Amino acid sequence: MDAAWEIARREGLAAVTLREIAGRIGMQSPSLYSHFDSKNAIYDAMFAEAWDEMCVSLDEIQPLPAEPRASMLAVAEMFFDVAVADPARHQLMNQRTIPGFRPSEHAYAASVAVYERMRAAMARCGVRSQADLDLWTAIVGGFVDQQLANDPGGSRWRRQLPRLVDMYCDEVGVTGPRLREAR
């Protein structure tokens, strides 16, 4: 798995092949078939591992602040930071750029588990409708994409997260002190 991630980070996800992994770890590529039956099986394992790591990152920010907007900001910052820290991982987790790859039910379950934890955190903040959750994931994910595309290595879009949370909360009716005024 480490070799697969190394390839993805250096050369892109499309460069991950059984032959390339085998060469990096000193193994013949047919021997890898005892571990992975295809290139997509490697992507599947990477997908599950990435979402498991996101779950650990979510655990690291627990307990969330009691104030709803601060809690939502903590979740947004965690997701943003994890995504921006590793663009290859973000691409595999959140974009469908690999032709023919669909995560298995097992691998997808890891992403669903993180989503359900996010849903529960948002419900504690008063956000319960699916449409509002969809909007949340779209705008936070969009900020990640903007950061990666327009200011890689910078903080232009991350600095805007308090403003984003305030605007979102104003729209969906989450009360509490405004984050921009609290900082």
Which CATH number belongs to the domain containing residue 171 in this structure? 1.10.357
Residues 5 and 90 in one domain: no
68 to 25, 84, 91: CA distances (angstroms): 47, 24, 29
Residues 53 and 143 in one domain: yes
Provide φ and ψ at 114, rounded to 5°: -65, -45
Q: Does residue 42 sit within a domain? A: no
Residues 30 and 110 in one domain: no
- What's the token pair of residue 27? 């193994």
Per-residue pLDDT of the chain in tens (183 residues, 90 and over written 9): 999 999 999 999 999 999 899 999 998 877 888 889 999 999 999 999 999 999 999 999 999 999 999 999 999 999 999 999 999 999 999 999 999 999 999 999 999 999 999 999 999 999 999 999 999 999 999 999 999 999 999 999 999 999 999 999 999 999 999 998 654
Which CATH number belongs to the domain containing residue 33 in this structure? 1.10.10.60
Cβ neighbors of 33 (< 8 A, separation 6 or more) are 18
Do the Cβ atoms of 111 and 89 come closer than 8 Å?
no
Structural domain of residue 5, as residue ranges? 1-37
- C-alpha to C-alpha distance for 114 and 93, rounded to whole angstroms: 12
Residues 67 and 109 in one domain: yes
Counting the structural domains of the chain, the total is 2
Q: Does residue 92 sit within a domain? A: yes
- C-alpha to C-alpha distance for 155 and 180, rounded to whole angstroms: 16
Do the Cβ atoms of 161 and 77 come closer than 8 Å?
yes
Say what the pLDDT of residue 33 is.
Answer: 80
- C-alpha to C-alpha distance for 111 and 39, rounded to whole angstroms: 20
What is the secondary structure of 33-99 as a DSSP string? TTT-SSHHHHHHHHHHHHHHHHHHHHHHTPSPPSSHHHHHHHHHHHHHHHHHH-HHHHHHHH---ST
Q: Does residue 133 sit within a domain? A: yes
- C-alpha to C-alpha distance for 21 and 171, rounded to whole angstroms: 48
Q: What's the pTM value of the predicted model, to 2 decimals?
A: 0.93
